[in-house]
Amino acid sequence: MTATALKESDKQLNLDVNLDRTDRPEFKHGDLFWEGDSLKWIGMMSVNYSAFKVLAPETQRSLRDHLILFAKQRKYSIRTFQCMVQALGRLCHCYP
């Protein structure tokens, strides 16, 4: 056998299917909390939501608490959550 033939036989394709390749990596989320009018997610995002001030104080507190509970369920990606909260903020700003 020639050296070229040996190299080609060593490079044979492994056709085993590795289903774990497509799993989502385990990701540890940081703390999520409100600081003033900003929603802060340690290591992920920090966004000002002063548009929520148009809501009644009780409604605003309830919305903030529920948003944190919703995010901690981790059923949706951080980006999806961020877009949803930004859309709520824009609605409050545009249609007080």
11 in any annotated domain:
no
Instruction: Dump pLDDT digits (tens) for 8-22.
Output: 555 555 556 676 676
- Please state, in angstroms and rounded to a whole number, the distance separating the CA atoms of residues 88 and 86: 5
For 34, the 3-state DSSP assignment is: strand
Residue 33 pairs with which residues in a beta bridge?
40
- Domain membership of residue 63 as a residue range: 30-96
Q: How many CB atoms lie within 10 A of CB 67?
A: 19
Predicted TM-score of the model (pTM):
0.60
Domain count, the chain: 1
63 in any annotated domain:
yes
12 in any annotated domain:
no
47 in any annotated domain:
yes
19 in any annotated domain:
no
Calculate the average pLDDT of the chain: 77
14 in any annotated domain:
no
CA quadruple 29, 30, 34, 40: dihedral sign: negative
4 in any annotated domain:
no
